[in-house]
């Protein structure tokens, strides 16, 4: 076989789709992951370790399950979960306690794959309430570009401008392009980068299981990861005509890897929802039966990107915090739009959704428990109260009038 013949047999299109999916997924949200881990107490070394283990584990599980099932199963870190960590900065500054919450989240994801009743419990949470909780988590982060434009206009406005221009002509590349501008600004203005450690290294974190942190961080992380990533991930596959894959190996595998990865600083991995469309759609290959190659290639490229975790963390650490939250806000605007739209989709549940949104966005901490939990609880109570069957004023008046007329007729 000649070299040209061998090269012609290389599935270039799905491999290219996997490369694009991995690069856009990494470049668009790695800063959110690092900022989230740092917000709950991780050191620079621990955050780099967390980013590395997330890349490795999501790459491995994508490769294994895609090859085994011949289905484009792509995985990613939980971007809504990372946003939750940023919003929950006041919940804990003890990273060991956060790691304990990450482990609980991973075990719950695995348990969802083992026990169907737990999956039914999660899917029974009204979409409006779950989406409103996610929107409340995202709102403070999405406001950050406005704050950055006011406090650091020389740096922030070029980033926002590039994002806006690219969003008009090539939306998929808007956030990665804005990230390139951000990195350029950091490199030009941060002389300390020359001393940064860029070699990949893992750092073990011994967990602490704090009940308050588990309730305020672990449970909301589990809910937003399931409702915001895993459930939409299955829906994306159905959109492109794939039969529903078995949920058990996906949830058990990603849950156990999340729990193990937590010991090295990672928060959660899940079935990809945002980048899955790149690897499961026709851009990956005209034949659906060949698109699994794209997800497999994406997994390989995530392993390569993991090598740069320490360098990425050093860049974020050297940047003014307002710039990182600004790029995170730009990256999450689409997710905020989707969450608000879904929260207000059902007219009968709009008030409970708004109550949930307001409570979560407030960032209030009561009894050591963060606002995500309280928003979910209060929103559920309001929904139950407003859904309780009661007689309206008109029905009550009609009943009284009918009873009065009937009494007169009998007399």
Asked if 79 and 334 touch (Cβ cutoff 8 Å), the reply is: no
Q: What is the DSSP letter of 246?
A: P
Q: What is the pLDDT of residue 292?
A: 92
- Tens-digit pLDDT profile for residues 33-83: 999 999 999 998 999 999 999 999 999 999 999 999 999 999 999 988 998
Question: Which stretches in the chain have pLDDT values below 50?
Answer: 3-7, 391-396, 398-402, 405-406
What's the pTM? 0.80
Say how far residue 187 (Cα) sits from the centre of its chain.
28
Q: Is 12 exposed, middle or buried (0-12, 13-18, 19+ CB in 10 A)?
A: exposed
CA–CA distance, 244 with 141 (Å, rounded to integer):
34
User: Cβ distance 215 to 374 under 8 Å?
Assistant: no
What is the pLDDT at residue 189? 78
SS3 392: coil
Between CA 230 and CA 239 the distance in angstroms is 14
Q: Which residue has the tokens 């497999």?
A: 296
CB-based contact 296:15 (threshold 8 Å): no
CA 244 to chain centroid, in Å, comes to: 22
* Residue 76 DSSP SS3: strand
pLDDT for position 398: 43
Q: How far apart are CA 64 and CA 73, in angstroms?
A: 9
Domain boundaries, the chain: 8-350
What's the confidence (pLDDT) of residue 19?
Answer: 85
Number of neighbouring beta carbons within 10 Å of residue 347 = 8
């Amino acid at each position: 076989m000649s070299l040209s013949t061998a090269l012609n047999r290389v599935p270039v299109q799905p491999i290219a789709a996997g490369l694009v999916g991995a690069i856009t997924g990494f470049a668009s949200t790695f800063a959110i992951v690092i900022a989230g881990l740092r917000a709950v107490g991780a050191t620079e070394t621990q955050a780099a370790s967390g980013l590395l283990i997330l890349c490795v584990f999501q790459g491995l599980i994508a490769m294994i399950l895609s090859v085994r099932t011949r289905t484009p199963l792509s995985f990613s870190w939980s971007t809504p979960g990372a946003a939750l960590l940023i919003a929950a900065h006041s919940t804990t500054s003890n990273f060991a306690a956060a790691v304990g919450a990450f482990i609980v989240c991973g075990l719950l994801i695995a348990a969802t794959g083992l026990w169907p009743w737990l999956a039914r419990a999660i899917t029974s949470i009204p979409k409006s309430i779950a989406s409103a909780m996610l929107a409340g988590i995202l709102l403070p982060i999405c406001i950050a570009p406005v704050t950055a434009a006011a406090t650091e206009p020389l740096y922030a406005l070029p980033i926002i401008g590039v994002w806006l221009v690219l969003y008009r002509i090539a939306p998929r590349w808007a956030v990665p392009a804005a990230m390139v501008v951000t990195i350029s600004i950091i490199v030009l203005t941060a002389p300390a980068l020359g001393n940064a450690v860029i070699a990949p290294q893992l750092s073990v974190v011994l967990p602490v299981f704090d009940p308050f942190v588990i309730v305020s961080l672990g449970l909301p992380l589990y809910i937003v990861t399931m409702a915001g990533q895993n459930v939409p991930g299955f829906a994306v596959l159905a959109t492109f005509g794939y039969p529903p894959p078995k949920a058990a190996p996906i949830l058990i595998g990603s849950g156990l890897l999340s729990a193990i990865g937590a010991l090295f600083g990672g928060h959660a991995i899940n079935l990809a929802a945002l980048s899955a469309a790149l690897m499961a759609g026709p851009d990956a290959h005209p034949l659906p039966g060949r698109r699994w190659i794209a997800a497999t290639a994406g997994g390989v490229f995530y392993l390569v990107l993991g090598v740069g975790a320490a360098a990425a963390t050093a860049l974020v650490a050297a940047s003014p915090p307002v710039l990182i939250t600004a790029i995170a806000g730009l990256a999450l605007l689409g997710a905020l739009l989707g969450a608000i739209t879904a929260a207000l989709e059902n007219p009968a549940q709009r008030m409970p959704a708004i109550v949930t949104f307001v409570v979560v966005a407030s960032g209030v901490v009561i009894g050591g428990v963060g606002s995500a939990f309280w928003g979910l609880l209060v929103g559920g109570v309001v929904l139950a109260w407003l859904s309780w069957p009661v007689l309206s004023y008109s029905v009550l008046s009609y009943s009284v009038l009918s009873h009065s007329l009937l009494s007169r007729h009998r007399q």
